[in-house]
Amino acid sequence: MTNSATAKQSSYKVIGTRPIRHDGVDKVTGRAQYGADINLPGMLHGKVLRSPHPHAKIKSIDTSKAESHPNVRAVATSNDLPIPCPVGRGNVFPLGVSDNIFARGKVLYKGHAVAAVAATSALAAEEALSLIKVEYEPMPWVTDAEEAIEPGAPVLHEHWTTDDPSGQVLADTNIASHEQHAFGDLVKGFGEADLILEREYKSSSVHQGYIEPQNATASWSPDGRVTIWCSSQGHFYIQMQTAQILGLPVSRIRIVPMEIGGGFGGKLSAYLEPVAAVLSKKSGNPVKMTMSRPEVFESTGPTCGSKVSVKIGVTKEGRITAAKAVYFFEAGAFPGAPLSAAAAAIFAPYNIENMQVDAYDVVDNKPKTAAYRAPGAPNVIWAVENLMDEIAEHLSIEPMQLRLLNVAIEGTRRSDGVKNLLIGAKEVMETVVAHSHYKAPLEGKNKGRGVSMGFCRNNTGPACVVANVFNDGTVSLLEGSVDIGGSRSAIAQQLAEVLGIPVEDVHPSIGDTDEIGFTSPTGGSSVAYKSGIAAYEAALDVCEQLTKRAAILWEVDEGEVEYVDGLVRHKSDPELSLTFKEMAAKMPETGGPVVGTANVNPTRSGASYSAHLVDVEVDPETGKVDILRFTAFQDVGKAIHPSYVEGQIQGGSSQGIGWALNEEYYMGLDGKMANFTLLDYRMPTALDVPMIEPVIVEVPNPGHPFGVRGAGEANIAPALAAIANAINKATGVRLRNLPMSPAVVLKAIQDKNGIVS
């Protein structure tokens, strides 16, 4: 067979094209079904009672009046969930998930779920919530990681003990864990430096900003199984979490994935699914739940706020001799800040022989953090790339030349210890320098140009695909990866490329947890990679079966038949040749159905490098920053569907702009989020974001048959520092705290000029 060679040809027929997305008609006509669109006979409506306090003991909960409401059918609290095992460093999952569903003993943030009701209408459910009486004993709170580790700070989890890398056991602490990554000789490295700069950078909690709120509809069957319809990034993970929270085997829970209105990492965790399931079991009816926008902000996971200290030593020529970083990430009420992902990213674009990274996971009285597009990478990359520009300024070296002088290549080691495979950091940097934007003049007062590198290590995981060949030569493609950004088409393209058929002849769909094998979530920019490999393997399975069928049909040895470019043909007799459609029509007479399957768990996902080049103009009287031009570069390995890749680059860049200039969880003096609506939480609009020019760089990933790397996450990371560096060029002020809002920029300008406001 030569089909593998066909799939690896340098000029593809389907890969790299821009077909209309398979779900496009459903999306634009409104036929696509999202989680909140589910309506079942006898369905009830569920609502959650949430804590008004950021930190308080629960002295009592009285649900009797709510239970006696004529329209209420069920009430649930933590008493309806199994008690999770004790939590410590090795046991964070049960507590961090279960006690986040319903507070147990005390509430840990404003918005923490305390109880829930199911009633015949949403209005009746809201009314019933007011009948639940909860007696609280308010406690001191802390909503900042830096304050949370100070002596005397309120301790969220008094029973914790945490093992430190030094061997010390930490008790009565808000430090959930401490990771250390080190190699080389820091003392020697800093001793060889001619210039050493050390700076501190801070960033605030930021929400992912998806438009569709969390939702779940559960129907508990009399046979003891529960079916849940929801919008998530990974229905198998929701199944696992729900099973653990409810104390059930996963086989008793079926999760049906609905279309999803955005996630960006924020829809990997269960919030409403176990609650709806409990209410359905207690009431005997299906129960539907949907969050309000304030609930999304106050009760689901934003990304972590952070404090990052970075120290870099360089020679007078600009060669980095040593680097050290210490960062504290806010985990929110329960452990789980992305320490390891940040450690992978922090110095990733550079080849540094002497390095140490210390990372701390710190709990505080905010919602438990969740992933957000390259989790941890923007927090640390903004610090390093800010400092790299400052170093270039001190040495009078052009910023991109400093980066190219120290660029990481294949074989260099990242700070988390991983040795690079083939990477595209150098190619991205060279593309930036060669681009017309980089060379274009920028004239006028109060204008500046900034640049920054970015990174995402990209994840992988198990993935399953089933390809069912129909007699008319079309293929039904069932996959386990939730489609957020067009992955149905990207997976279908990879299958079609191997089979040598038009992608329009492939009909992709997403299977529920009963229909397809376990597939890890749509996160970590993993889907085009892992499910793409599964589609590739399933297509090879189909090719092999069709080759055997042709051998039977022609009564020749299997070794005399090959599958090439959509044709089954005899190697030496050109008269014996059938197209894919012709061969599919002969399935009944050669053995029946042909179904290709693949279950994979690939391990070489390949890191992505990115860069942003940004021009800004700063109004010195208001501090407002206008972005004049924005060019985003990224190595994606191979762009399966270039339009989707460009969209990912533009989308991530837009979110980075919001993170840099406006977005933050504004915590009041009462420990509560003050800007919990889309009117007050300042996400960028079309008025804030310029036309973003995406530039695709392709350095093929040797771990994928088509060279794919993740494309969805590395693009958010450079925006923060690129904009900060541009503001510095425009104003002469160096900002080290996010967001760089007009008030912050104006104050920095006034301080620089000695103006008292």
Span 522-563, pLDDT tens digits? 999 999 999 999 999 999 999 999 999 999 999 999 999 999
- Can you name the residues that pair with 510 across neighbouring β-strands? 479
Q: How confident is the model at residue 84 (pLDDT cuts 50, 70, 90)?
A: confident
Strand-pair category, 215-220 with 287-290 = antiparallel
Q: How confident is the model at residue 161 (pLDDT cuts 50, 70, 90)?
A: low
User: Taking a C-beta distance cutoff of 8 angstroms, is the pair 144, 69 a contact?
Assistant: no
CATH number of the domain located at residue range(s) 3-32+460-600 in this protein: 3.30.365.10
Token pair of 378 as six digits: 């923007």
The Cα–Cα gap between 115 and 65 comes to 13
Q: How confident is the model at residue 158 (pLDDT cuts 50, 70, 90)?
A: confident
393 CB-near residues (< 8 Å, 6+ apart): none
Token pair of 189 as six digits: 């490295």
pLDDT in tens, 273-306: 999 999 999 999 999 999 999 999 999 999 999 9
CATH class of 427-458+606-757: alpha beta
Q: How confident is the model at residue 1 (pLDDT cuts 50, 70, 90)?
A: very low
> Which pLDDT score, from 0 to 100, does residue 747 have?
97
Compute φ and ψ for 621, nearest 5 degrees.
Answer: -90, -25
Q: What is the dihedral of CA 576, 580, 584, 585, to 10 degrees?
A: -70
Q: Per-residue pLDDT averaged across 214-219, rounded?
A: 98
Parse the chain into domains and list their residue ranges: 3-32+460-600, 427-458+606-757
Give the Cα-Cα-Cα angle 375, 723, 391 (nearest 5 degrees): 90
> Which pLDDT score, from 0 to 100, does residue 87 have?
43
Average predicted confidence (pLDDT) for the chain: 95
- Percentage of the chain modeled with pLDDT above 70: 96
> Which pLDDT score, from 0 to 100, does residue 170 have?
64
> Which pLDDT score, from 0 to 100, does residue 425 have?
98
Token pair of 51 as six digits: 């804590």
406 CB-near residues (< 8 Å, 6+ apart): 318, 319, 320, 350, 351, 352
Helix (H, G, I), strand (E, B) or coil at 487: helix
Write b or e for each residue in 252-268: b if 16 or more Cβ atoms lie within 10 A of its Cβ, otherwise e: bbbbbbbbbbbbbbbbb
> Which pLDDT score, from 0 to 100, does residue 757 have?
66
Tell whether the model's pLDDT for residue 624 goes beyond 60. yes
What sections of 591-739 are H helices per DSSP? 642-661, 719-731
Tell whether the model's pLDDT for residue 90 goes beyond 70. no
pLDDT in tens, 252-267: 999 999 999 999 999 9
Helix (H, G, I), strand (E, B) or coil at 227: strand
Compute φ and ψ for 683, nearest 5 degrees.
Answer: -80, 150
Between helix 235-246 and helix 273-283 the angle, nearest 10°, is 50
Q: How confident is the model at residue 83 (pLDDT cuts 50, 70, 90)?
A: confident
The Cα–Cα gap between 114 and 558 comes to 65
> Which pLDDT score, from 0 to 100, does residue 474 have?
98
> Which pLDDT score, from 0 to 100, does residue 402 have?
98
- What DSSP element (H or E) covers 563? strand 561-564
Q: How far is CA 586 from the centre of its chain?
A: 45
Q: What is the dihedral of CA 684, 686, 690, 691, to 10 degrees?
A: 130
Sheet holding 625-635, edge to edge: 447-456, 608-618, 625-635, 692-697
- Percentage of the chain modeled with pLDDT above 90: 94
**Residue for token digits 């339009």?**
643
Instruction: Output 161 or 571, whichever has higher pLDDT.
Output: 571
Q: How confident is the model at residue 316 (pLDDT cuts 50, 70, 90)?
A: very high
Size of the chain, expressed as the number of residues it contains? 757
Q: Among 32-46, 170-184, 454-468, 662-676, which is the least confidently predicted range?
A: 170-184
> Which pLDDT score, from 0 to 100, does residue 427 have?
98
> Which pLDDT score, from 0 to 100, does residue 537 have?
98
Token pair of 571 as six digits: 């190697």
Tell me if 3-32+460-600 shares its fold with 427-458+606-757.
yes
Tell whether the model's pLDDT for residue 92 goes beyond 90. no
Tell whether the model's pLDDT for residue 3 goes beyond 50. no
User: Taking a C-beta distance cutoff of 8 angstroms, is the pair 596, 605 a contact?
Assistant: no
Token pair of 539 as six digits: 């297509």
DSSP per-residue string spanning 318-370: --EEEEEEEEEEEEETSS---HHHHHHHTTTTB--SSEEEEEEEEE-SSPPP-
DSSP per-residue string spanning 503-522: GGGEEEEE--TTTS-----S
The Cα–Cα gap between 117 and 61 comes to 13
Q: Per-residue pLDDT averaged across 585-613, rounded?
A: 97
Helix (H, G, I), strand (E, B) or coil at 629: strand
421 CB-near residues (< 8 Å, 6+ apart): 410, 604, 606, 607, 701, 702, 703
Q: Is the peptide bond before 302 cis (omega within 30 degrees of 0)?
A: no
Tell whether the model's pLDDT for residue 708 goes beyond 90. yes
pLDDT in tens, 423-439: 999 999 999 999 999 99
The Cα–Cα gap between 560 and 571 comes to 6
Tell whether the model's pLDDT for residue 2 goes beyond 80. no
Q: Per-residue pLDDT averaged across 375-394, rounded?
A: 98
Q: How confident is the model at residue 11 (pLDDT cuts 50, 70, 90)?
A: confident
> Which pLDDT score, from 0 to 100, does residue 730 have?
98
Q: How confident is the model at residue 171 (pLDDT cuts 50, 70, 90)?
A: low
Tell whether the model's pLDDT for residue 498 goes beyond 50. yes
pLDDT in tens, 24-41: 999 999 999 999 999 999
Tell whether the model's pLDDT for residue 444 goes beyond 80. yes
